[in-house]
A = this chain, B = another copy of it.
Amino acid sequence: MKVIKDIREMQSISNALKKEGKIIGFVPTMGFLHKGHISLITESKKKSDVTVVSIYVNPTQFSPSEDFEKYPRDFKSDENLCINAGVDIVFYPNGDYMYSDEHKTFVITEELSTKLCGISRPEHFRGVTTIVAKLFNIVNPNIAVFGQKDAQQSIIIKKMVEDLNFDIDIIIVPIVREVDGLALSSRNKYLSEKHRKDAPTIYSALTKAKDLIKEGEKQSRNILDFINKTLLSVPDLKIDYVSIVNMQNFEKVETIGTNTLIAVAVYFDSTRLIDNILIN
């Protein structure tokens, strides 16, 4: 496995691979890899000849009050996980090198980026689309793999790719969960033992909501009431949002039909966790 730190070198490796007719699969990450990431890598390996994983904690998607500085980093462990997962190339750029001091260009997706997580994180998705556009231009992949856990991010990236005509297939991979149902996240390590024990309630509220819908409840209001009540029964849990929306445009829906996304964001102290479930 190669570790590439230089942008130009990554570009010239990708160009050479493309000339050889190789299909490049790409998994952009912020590192601190877990089984969720490995599932993305596995999917990329299935669908491509060469898998590139980028590891870069992107400052522009964190607000000043967020956890950029203390976001967990462990390159040695990430490197080993990548080797074991059969990654071909890790792109691991020097932080200072990705954005110049004079950086002025941003990719924005109007409307989609201001809803759900965009309400409490107004600059977040602009940072995401900008770094992903940059990485796409550096890695030049044929396919790129994202996780359903960041449902809003996945849909925004798909929209960006469609709107800006990136010649890249976007693949979304299902959420990987702990045995008790908690969605895997690099941020789970911030949780206290007590909070870690309580956190699976997020997913159980979602699955029970899905059961209620299957049993015939179609009113978003009632489902929202149920989820909110379940979550508020958890000590220390603060709700950021619980939303039932159309999967394409994130507009709230009153009656639950197909293509509905139920998305949740909560805090335990300053640790923000998200989860979601699709109703098809």
Interface residues of A (CB under 8 A from B): 7, 11, 15, 18-19, 21, 99-100, 102-112, 129-130, 133-134, 137-138, 140, 159-160, 162-167, 249
Contacts and interface: CB of A to CB of B under 8 A. Distances in A.
Contacts of A112: 104
B104 A165 contact: no
Most buried by B among A106, A107, A160, A164: A164
A104 B100 contact: no
Contacts of A15: 18, 167
A215 B123 CA distance: 50
Nearest to A98: B165
10 contacts: A18-B18, A19-B21, A99-B163, A104-B159, A105-B108, A105-B163, A106-B110, A137-B164, A137-B165, A138-B165
Contacts of A11: 165, 167
Contacts of A164: 105, 107, 130, 133-134, 137
Contacts of A111: 104
A160 B4 CA distance: 24
Contacts of A163: 99-100, 103-105, 134
A138 B100 CA distance: 26
A137 B166 contact: yes
Contact of A19 (B18, B102, B130, B137): B18
Nearest to A135: B165
A105 B105 contact: no
Closest 4 CB pairs of A and B: A105-B163, A137-B165, A104-B110, A134-B165
Contacts of A102: 159, 249
A105 to B, nearest CB: 4
Nearest to A138: B165
A159 B111 CA distance: 26
Contacts of A105: 107-110, 129, 159-160, 163-164
Contacts of A129: 105
Contacts of A160: 105
Given A134-B165, A137-B164, 12 more contacts: A11-B167, A18-B19, A102-B249, A104-B109, A104-B159, A104-B163, A105-B107, A106-B107, A106-B108, A107-B133, A134-B163, A137-B167
A78 B3 CA distance: 48
Contacts of A249: 102
